[in-house]
Amino acid sequence: MRLVRQCLTESVLLAMAGGGAGFLLASWGTDLLVAVRPETIPGTRAIGVDARVLGFTLLLSVLTGVLFGLVPALQASATGPQDALREGGRTSSTGPRARLLRRALVVCEMAVALVLLAGAGLLVKGFLRLQQIDSGLSVERVLTLNLVIPDAHYAEDTAQIRFYNEILRRTTALPGVVAAGLTSNLPLGGSDSVLGFSIEGRPEEKPGEGPMSGFHQVSPDYFAALGVRLLRGRSFEPRDTQQAPGVVVVSETLAKRYWPGEDAMGRRISFGTNDKGEPYWMTVIGVAVDVRQKGLHTDPRAESYVSYTQWPSRYTTLVVRSGLEPAALEASVRREVQAVDHDIPVYDVKTMHQVLEGSLASRRFNMTLLVLFAVLAVLLAAVGLYGVMAYTVTQRTHEIGVRVALGAGRGDVLRLVVGQGMGLALLGVVAGLLGAMALTRVLSSLLVGVPVTDPWTFGLTALLLTAVAFLACYVPARRAARVDPMVALRYE
């Protein structure tokens, strides 16, 4: 019982010391993660380390110390004097079962580290590919401001249109402004509107089964303000009023999908009916390049743009392109909006570059977390492998001395120790590759342009982990190769 108490005391103290260090690290790390987390992840402000976490950490540390201290303590106490003498005076920790357990733990550590490392590598590669995707617009030196006009003052469409016209006139006249436009749904910003539509000359389809398109109410200079190129046709003009025939600009994907091999120019589509209950037909006057409306991670889809003078919207975003830094324009644009109507709220002011970065924030956060976990797993695996090999070298010091005395060179000792450690590491790498091929499939929704079993990523992560394992084995092997044979022969 004295041996059991000694082992348990040592194990619990070590576990509590590790738990305390982990608690401090978790407290600091949690604050850091909450500080850098994207606003799109809800509820993260409530995350923190409190008394409940401290209590749980203390309980888990004690249980861990008891569990991992009791088993070897009982094994040692169950070993009789005769068994101990047969094993050369060593404890049960050097027996075959103990050696097998240590090696199995090292293999598991290496496998888990490779799974996390492969997942992190896939996310990093996918994120880099994502940043290279053409969004269809130019985000440099573009300022965006969100506006909401109240029903009480702007119940009529004509009042809304007059307000927007005046805002655009004043904003465009500001020094440094290249173009100013309006849109009901800012690209990459998350807001969206999708409507079904009819195509002239084609039979009506059941609701939900017909053509669908993103629906955006924009001003004439919207395309110029965001740098969206028109492949054919023209943009909207002041003459496109509610009294004029309806017009629409469609995206390249919409044109190719619903008029494959044909010219979409001059075709007519309808998103609803007029006051007489008849289809309100709009003529396609332009085809624009595809814009990643919902984010860079989504495929281009069918989009339709209508003039705000024909389809006004109470909710809109003012987009201003300038030759100056966008931040220098914010105060001036706000002042012009307030000059038109001081009751109009201006909120969520961002540069288009910030909007783009915000659309990538969640994926960057997920990638960063997995990279941190992977680095931690690799570090633990390296420390575990180093510890096992260092312990093995200590236990085999006498044997190494005999080998050296019989003529073995330092290179032979190095190969012996490194070979044993690398055998465990490579076994863990193989197991990790098999596990990664199965488990990384859960990341498929987060990857863009990268297969979940990307051979380059798997190969490089396996090579990296193998290199780390080699370093972890080389240090104790180098120490073993330098052992003095006379000292080693006297070592027990």
Same domain, residue pair 110 and 157: no
**Domain contains 395:** yes
Residue 312 inside a domain? The answer is yes
Contact 157, 312 (CB under 8 A): yes
**Calpha distance 173→420 (Å, rounded):** 76
Confidence (pLDDT) at 79? 58
Q: Do 401 and 465 fall into the same domain?
A: yes
Q: Is residue 29 part of a domain?
A: yes
Specify whether 324 is located in the same domain as 420: no
Residue 282 shares a structural domain with residue 398: no
User: So what's the pLDDT on residue 343?
Assistant: 86
Host domain of residue 446: 94-134+355-492
pLDDT at 20: 82
Specify the pLDDT at position 458.
92
pLDDT of the residue at 80: 55
pLDDT digits (tens, 9 = 90+) for 40-83: 666 666 676 777 877 888 888 888 777 777 766 666 666 555 55
Record the pTM: 0.77
Last residue of a domain, one of 343, 363, 398: 343
In the prediction, which pLDDT does 11 show? 80
Same domain, yes or no, for 232 and 315? yes
* Axis-axis angle for helices 51-78, 2-36 (nearest 10): 150
Give the whole-angstrom CA distance, residue 141 versus residue 320. Answer: 8
- Chain segment 398-413, per-residue pLDDT in tens: 676 777 676 777 778 7
Pair (425, 457) in one structural domain: yes
What does the pLDDT read at residue 292? 92
**Do residues 296 and 229 both lie within one domain?**
yes
274 lies in some domain: yes
Site of tokens 């380390």: 49
DSSP H/E element including 165: helix 157-172
Residue 175 within a domain: yes
- Domain identity same for 278 and 188: yes
At residue 486, the pLDDT reads 60
Q: Are residues 104 and 206 in the same domain?
A: no
* H-helix or E-strand spanning residue 282: strand 279-288
- Last residue within a domain, chosen from 308, 343, 378: 343
Which residues of the chain fall short of a pLDDT of 70?
A: 1, 3, 36, 39-46, 48, 71-96, 98, 190, 396, 398, 400, 404, 406, 483-492
3-state helix, strand, coil in the chain (%, to 5): 55, 15, 30
Q: Is residue 143 part of a domain?
A: no
Q: Is the dihedral of CA 265, 203, 193, 184 positive or negative?
A: positive
Domain boundary among 78, 105, 125: 78
Same domain, 154 and 269: yes
Torsion sign over Cα 425, 430, 433, 439: negative
Nearest to 432 by CA among 197, 52, 118: 118
Instruction: Kindly state whether residue 83 falls inside one of the protein's structural domains.
Output: no
| Residue 145 within any structural domain of the chain | no
What's the sign of the alpha-carbon dihedral 138, 139, 145, 150?
Answer: positive
Residues 362 and 416 in one domain: yes
Q: What span, in angstroms and rounded, lies between the C-alpha atoms of 457 and 372?
A: 17
Same domain, 438 and 475: yes
How many structural domains comprise the chain?
3
